Amino acid sequence: MIPLQIKEVATKLNISPRAIRFYEEKGLISPIKQAHNQYRTFTEQDIWRLQTILSLREAGMPLESIKHALAEMDEDNIQELRYYLELQRSVLVAKWLEMKQVIETTDHMITLLKVNRTLPLEAIYKLAEGSKTLKEQRTAWKDTWHYDELAPTHDERAASHSGEYTYYEDTLNLIVKWVSAIQGEHGLDLGTGTGNLAGKFIAGGIHMSGVDQSKEMLRHSQRKYPTLEGRLGNFLAIPYLEGVFDFVVSSFAFHHLTNEQQLLALTEMRRVLKPRGRICIAGPMSSLLHLSHWFEENGYLLKQQLIHTVIPIIYAVPIR
């Protein structure tokens, strides 16, 4: 391919020459400059790089993240590049859910206006406060447990069956038994860690996806279980669209959420589940009462138990 000048590239990619010069100033591209006139010339590689930048910008990725992503591409580091894209998807899902909540709040206001012919101030305040609370709960999520650092020793700690992981293996086995997944179903393991629970379903021939906030945990899980589809994300903004899964499971992770966050997480689980999708959660939770109320209010039939009188497990199936 004959090198192109900046106007030709701008026409080809449907952007302005100014935008191309901006990306050059930011260090994202480095076209060759002719010695005699300093005109920029663009090779096929330069054009491919610009197309990549435009695609990532279209996806909403910040320039600094694009710079890191391109550096990993230059090093042919597919894992790190995937991490940046996963991180961007996680951010986009959170923004999408926030916008979805704003739309739902607006719909409620429209309904109130239709019914009452006015907008009661108290009702508006409640709707706005509810929307604000949900936003705060999602944005307040932070990794305070440093799971990237804990990933290499996670399986060793889980195998100790002590402390946080008391009756670990028995708990995972009971989740698998209660869910009773069948061939053709697609399950989601939230807080999958190194994939131990998902791996038990995979061993039974079940298609599994896993979500975790830790990229290192996901790397370990996918080394152990190559067929596991791992995505970076968390309970409060699950990186999937609506109605994808037949069941959602979670073990030894849900207790890290506050009670309010747990209820939001259940709403997120229901969002990504198919209409008859079921939920099974187990781990060292202090109370199941608020969860039981949520399930009952939302039309689920419950089954609960204490594993060895210590570890709570709850299984929920929708009945309406």
Domain ranges within the chain, ordered by starting residue: 4-74, 78-139, 147-318
Which pLDDT value is given to residue 120?
67
In the chain the beta strands, taken as DSSP E runs, fall at: 4-5, 32-33, 40-42, 186-190, 207-212, 229-232, 245-251, 273-282, 300-307, 311-318
> Contact, 319 vs 298, CB < 8 A?
no
Please give the share of the chain, as a percent, with pLDDT higher than 90.
Answer: 50
Which pLDDT value is given to residue 271?
95
> Contact, 208 vs 248, CB < 8 A?
no
Mean of pLDDT over the chain: 87
Burial 292-316 (b: 16+ CB within 10 A, else e): eebbeeeebeeeeeebeeebbbbbb
Q: Which residues contact 87 (CB under 8 A, 6 or more apart)?
A: 65, 232
Which pLDDT value is given to residue 282?
97
* N-to-C CA span, the chain: 62
The class that CATH gives domain 147-318 is: alpha beta
CATH number of 4-74: 1.10.1660.10
Is the overall model pTM greater than 0.85, yes or no? no
Structural tokens at position 244: 């994808």
pLDDT at 274 exceeding the cut of 70? yes
- Going by C-alpha positions, the residue among 255, 246, 270 that lies closest to residue 188 is 246
Helix/strand/coil for 241 = coil
Which pLDDT value is given to residue 125?
65
| Residue carrying the six token digits 């497990």 | 313
pLDDT tens, residue by residue, 275-304 = 999 999 999 988 888 999 999 999 999 999
Higher pLDDT, 139 or 305: 305
Query: In which band, very low, low, confident or very high, does the pLDDT at 94 lie, cut at 50, 70 and 90?
Result: confident
Torsion of CA 106, 109, 111, 113, to 10 degrees: -140
Distance from C-alpha of 79 to C-alpha of 72, rounded to nearest angstrom: 9
* The domains spanning 4-74 and 147-318 adopt the same CATH topology: no
